[in-house]
Amino acid sequence: MTMLARGKQIRRNGRREIGAIVAGVLLLGIQFSLFAGRAVPVSLVTPTPENPKIREVILKGIELTINNEFEKAFELFGELVRRHPDSPIGYFYQAATLQSRMLDAEDYSRVDLFYALMDSALVRARVLRESGRADAWNFFYEGSIYLYRSFMESKLGDWLAAYRHALRGANLLETAVAQDSTLYDAYLGIGSFKYWKGAKSRIVLWLPFVSDERQKGIQMVWKAIEKGRLVHWIARDQLAWILMDAGRCEEAVRLSRENLAQFPRSRFFKWTLVAAAYRCEKWELSERLYRELLEEIRRLPKNNHYNELECLVKLADISCKKADWAAAYHWSDEALRLPVSGSVRQRARKKLKRALEIRHLAAKKLEQVQSDALSKEK
């Protein structure tokens, strides 16, 4: 499939909802391989996060990624690749950074590289497993690779492959826990899968052979937050999205506020908080956050206008709910005037339709206000 065809397939259906599945199941990673078609050597000592130095690099890279410093994080994880080229760890985390960067910009032009990075990590994880050197962490990374692939396939609209790979990834994470019951980082992926599988299957949960494990999933994510060594903040962000979906938006707002207070420069955490605030109908907070995000996005060196459009349409919608028709017209008109490309326009067609509806409604309301004012003068 060509890059253009993939770009046209990418679906945005609830950017931040999917971003949530991502952020929790997913902020982990992968990297590009030059070993395609050749055997990958296996070291006598396989590096894992049990090594304090490796764990320190991973945590620093995750922090850089949360703070939108993608290039620094990518280069930092590159050190793991250079020092341990036959391990999946460095490749894995470089790809996580790439995926986060694509999500942040809503630009998936490097998705082919993402798949190459993922395949590179997967080859190394399999070599370790097939050589008998796989420990619980190796199963953790192999499972997480499949979860990453699942997420990207869902973004590209391949839902069947996405579910198949998510199931496989969750099973591998359960194998990791079976080998080491203290590997609580794996609870994030397992718990997220259990929750979202149940959430997306609500219509058939009444069937006797379909189990509802949503509550168990929430408990497992909490366990990852409390005892995980690498995923604390990512699990908190994931939990916020889960709580939103479960109708517990006040709890999601509280959790998201705490996350953003810890990382005030993080656009990821700001997007989560604004989504929770919007669902709770906290219009003043939502408006302030969308304005802040809009200003940040407009200052970025590259902007395909998708996220800008997201902010403008939400600001227009909030203005409607507040009956501020002049503001509603202003924001919706700005949205419709953005110079979006054809591929972005296709993905954003529902948002553009909504902007057009709001501008039309606001224009009618403003005309009515003017007409009423003239009538009073007479």
SS3 content of the chain, % helix, strand, coil (to 5): 75, 0, 25
Q: For the chain, what's the residue count?
A: 378
Q: Where are the domains of the chain?
A: 10-271, 281-378
DSSP-assigned letter for residue 248: -
| pLDDT tens for each residue of 111-154 | 999 999 999 999 999 999 999 989 999 999 999 999 988 988 88
* Averaged pLDDT for residues 45-52: 87
| pLDDT tens for each residue of 286-335 | 999 999 999 999 999 999 999 999 999 999 999 999 999 999 999 999 99
| pLDDT tens for each residue of 338-376 | 999 999 999 999 999 999 999 999 999 999 988 877 777
DSSP-assigned letter for residue 39: P
Q: Is the pLDDT of residue 14 over 60?
A: no
Q: Within 13 Å and on the Cβ side, how many CA atoms surround 270?
A: 22
Q: Is the pLDDT of residue 166 over 70?
A: yes
Over the chain, what is the mean pLDDT?
Answer: 87
d(CA 346, CA 7): 10
* pLDDT reported for residue 46: 75
* pLDDT reported for residue 85: 95
> How many angstroms from the chain centroid is the CA of residue 214?
20
Residue corresponding to tokens 């005309």: 367
CATH fold, domain 10-271, is 1.25.40
Distances (CA, A) of 58 to 32, 152, 365: 18, 22, 54
Does the pTM exceed 0.75? yes
